[in-house]
Amino acid sequence: MANIILGIESSCDDTSAAIIKDCVLMSNVIASQKVHEDYGGVVPELASRAHQQNIVPVVSEAIRKAGINKADIDAIAFTRGPGLLGSLLVGTSFAKGLALALDKPIVDVNHLHGHVLSHFIKEDENTVTPDFPFLCLLISGGNSQIIKVNSPYDMEILGQTIDDAAGEAFDKCAKVMGLPYPGGPFIDRLAAEGDPKRFKFSKPHIEGLNYSFSGLKTSFLYTLRDELKSNPNFIEENKADLAASLQATIIAILMDKLDKAVKLTGIGQIAIGGGVSANSGVRNAIQHYCDVHHLKAFIPKRLFTTDNAAMIAVAGHFKFIKKDFCSFSDVPFARVTV
């Protein structure tokens, strides 16, 4: 029998609600917060207040677009963590209240699991999904991980960042260049116009499959410092080349470890997820690598790379099948790993 899951996502600065029916997407509504652009980063207090304003209309709109009644919902899945605690509290509290009112079970979802399982969002019955096991390169503002996904319930971290994440490197370097927040998309657009070989930035030498991006960030800052001493207009005159070189270096770091993971595991299916997987350079690099090595690439639509409730609903679907419900006394958590 088909099950209908309402997903609620409020981990950072996007309020989202989605409805799925046996993983087939019926609606996915996202309310983004523009207020943070003036501050160059997410302000937690402002984020939680915006979630309070947005969550009721967003959930109502998701239910309306899905063409169902609230009573048709079989379970409510919500992001329990990781994320901003105040933002998580809004989504968690709303999910609990609605579940109590409807007498429905609740399912807590690890936000990172949602990104990994976003590949199982079906927009129609013909959607192709990965077979288990597969490798997932999870790259976002706060996480850079290579995960061996054995099943929806069994995920093994093979490598992860020991300092900054790839998204942090993009955003922090973009901020120094005077680009708006979030900086990653601006770097991506500028990179298309620049020379990726113009500047050389440091690459880390970390053993195994772990990542490091703090050295790259420092190398980038030192390059700007040295060049600005002789040319105050250096950044403005070289923005495209700086962006292209930065992006190429980050991609090279990511792909080096992914290649090692493929050779170590022998797994022939590669998926990407998280906000940085929207980067066109990353997407092209993954597709090219898989084409050259005769592997299967799973690259999500950009809509499903950012924080969205569809991925939370899908992750909740798998837990619902196992009747892995959470208690109404469970509280959100700010930090956790896969």
Phi-psi region of 67 (alpha: psi -120 to 50; beta: other; left: phi over 0): left
Compute the distance between CA of residue 315 and CA of residue 271 in angstroms, rounded to an integer.
16
Instruction: List pLDDT tens digits, range 243-302.
Output: 999 999 999 999 999 999 999 999 999 999 999 999 999 999 999 999 999 999 999 999
More confident residue, 335 or 160: 160
Exposure class string for 137-160: b at 16+ Cβ within 10 A, else e: bbbbbbbbbbbbbeebeebeebbb
Which has the closest alpha carbon to 15: 1, 2, 33? 33
Predicted confidence at residue 335, as pLDDT, reads 82
- 304's tokens: 């499903």
Compute the distance between CA of residue 258 and CA of residue 252 in angstroms, rounded to an integer.
10
- 85's tokens: 């605690």
Q: Report the share of the chain in percent with pLDDT over 70.
A: 96
Q: How many CB atoms lie within 10 A of CB 112?
A: 27
CB of 29 within 8 A of CB of 6?
no
Compute the distance between CA of residue 6 and CA of residue 98 in angstroms, rounded to an integer.
11
Predicted confidence at residue 36, as pLDDT, reads 59
What is the side-by-side strand order in the sheet with 14-21?
A: 24-32, 14-21, 4-9, 75-81, 106-110
What's the mean pLDDT in 304-333?
A: 96
Instruction: List pLDDT tens digits, range 34-91.
Output: 665 666 677 777 888 989 999 999 999 999 999 999 999 999 999 999 999 999 999 9
Which has the closest alpha carbon to 91: 287, 309, 261, 298? 309
What's the mean pLDDT in 102-109?
A: 98
Q: Which residues partner with 110 through β-bridges?
A: 81
The SS3 of residue 46 is: helix
| 82 upstream amide cis, omega within 30 of 0 | yes
Which has the closest alpha carbon to 142: 89, 182, 95, 192? 182
More confident residue, 332 or 142: 332
Predicted confidence at residue 338, as pLDDT, reads 59
pTM of the predicted model as reported, rounded to 2 decimal places: 0.94
Report, in angstroms and rounded to the nearest whole number, the Rg of the chain calculated over CA atoms.
20
Predicted confidence at residue 173, as pLDDT, reads 96
Which has the closest alpha carbon to 40: 176, 182, 170, 218? 182
Predicted confidence at residue 37, as pLDDT, reads 67
CB of 88 within 8 A of CB of 334?
yes
